[in-house]
Amino acid sequence: MTDEDDVHIGFGFKPPHPAWTRYVSLARAAFLAVRDPSEAMIYAHSEGGLGFNDKVIEDWQAMIDAMLEEKP
């Protein structure tokens, strides 16, 4: 990793710094990968005593979608 890759948002660099923008597509891909909760995620939610229904998935996906629509 170079000094250019060591981006400190809020410490002098402001988006869209070239080093920062390189990682946006990777971050988006990561969030898209968890948009559909896995069985383990669903199990963890229901085991926490929170119950489970389709609304949980809809809420989770709405939060991910809203985050993906935000502009840096």
Residue 71 binned pLDDT confidence (cut-offs 50, 70, 90): low
Which residues, at least 6 apart from 21, have a Cβ–Cβ distance to it below 8 Å? 15
| 3-class DSSP assignment, residue 13 | strand
0.85 surpassed by pTM: no
pLDDT, one tens digit per residue, over 3-12 is 454 445 555 5
**pLDDT higher at 17 or 57:** 57
pLDDT, one tens digit per residue, over 26-52 is 888 999 999 998 888 888 888 777 777
Residue with token string 């840096």: 72
